[in-house]
Amino acid sequence: MYQNQCQNQDPQLTKIFQYVDKDRSGLISSSELQQCLSNGSWEPFHIDTIKLLMSMFDINKRGQLNFNEFQALWKYVNDWQAIFKTHDRDGSGSISRDELNQTLTSFGYRLSNKTYDLFMTKFDRQRKGDIYFDDFIQCLVALKMLTEEFSKLDTDRDGFVNFGYEQFINAAFSIL
């Protein structure tokens, strides 16, 4: 079974996997993942984004990624990279508030200035008015998850939910 898996592996991705797997354990740890991903500034990928990605792709919950898990993650990150590049209209390597607004609007979100203020406060970590790739992923994935949770509760689809306390706690903890 394992051999079969190896034979079917994309050779280029096998090389990437071996490069990322610094200690040659055959698995990718959080810190190995953090070292290999670049956010476009000279900072390492933010650990919160690493944790988010690990939680999404560590399917067998061993705390590390095997080849298949890594393959899925790699595709996912590359897809986000393409979205990031498309919406980084001025080619600055980061997403400004206006660019974020255009991105989210193109995904169908209708959000007020106040919400964009909040996003910039949370994700513009260097206080330069820019969001880098790691925070961009985190912002959009969190927004998508929260929106999905909300939609489950907003059964009549009017954009409002009567939240009970425990419903709120449950929804929040299912995302955290």
Could you tell me the maximum CA-CA distance found in the chain, to the nearest angstrom?
54
Smallest gap from Cβ 168 to Ca ion, in A, equals 31
CA distance linking residue 36 with residue 61, whole number of Å: 21
Cβ proximity to Ca ion, 56 vs 145, nearer residue: 56
Per CB under 5 A, does 90 bind Ca ion?
A: yes
The residue from 62, 75, 128, 144 that contacts Ca ion (CB under 5 A) is 62
CA distance linking residue 50 with residue 141, whole number of Å: 12
> In angstroms, how far is the first alpha carbon of the chain from the final one?
35
Options 17-25, 44-52, 117-125, 137-145: segment touching Ca ion (CB under 5 A):
17-25
Per CB under 5 A, does 124 bind Ca ion?
A: no
Token digits of residue 169:
């706690």
The residue from 14, 60, 86, 174 that contacts Ca ion (CB under 5 A) is 60
Cβ proximity to Ca ion, 49 vs 58, nearer residue: 58
Query: Going by C-beta distance under 8 Å and a sequence separation of 6 or more, which residues neighbour residue 103?
Result: 83, 87, 95, 140
Question: Where on the chain is the footprint of Ca ion (CB under 5 A)?
Answer: 21, 23, 25, 58, 60, 62, 69, 88, 90, 92
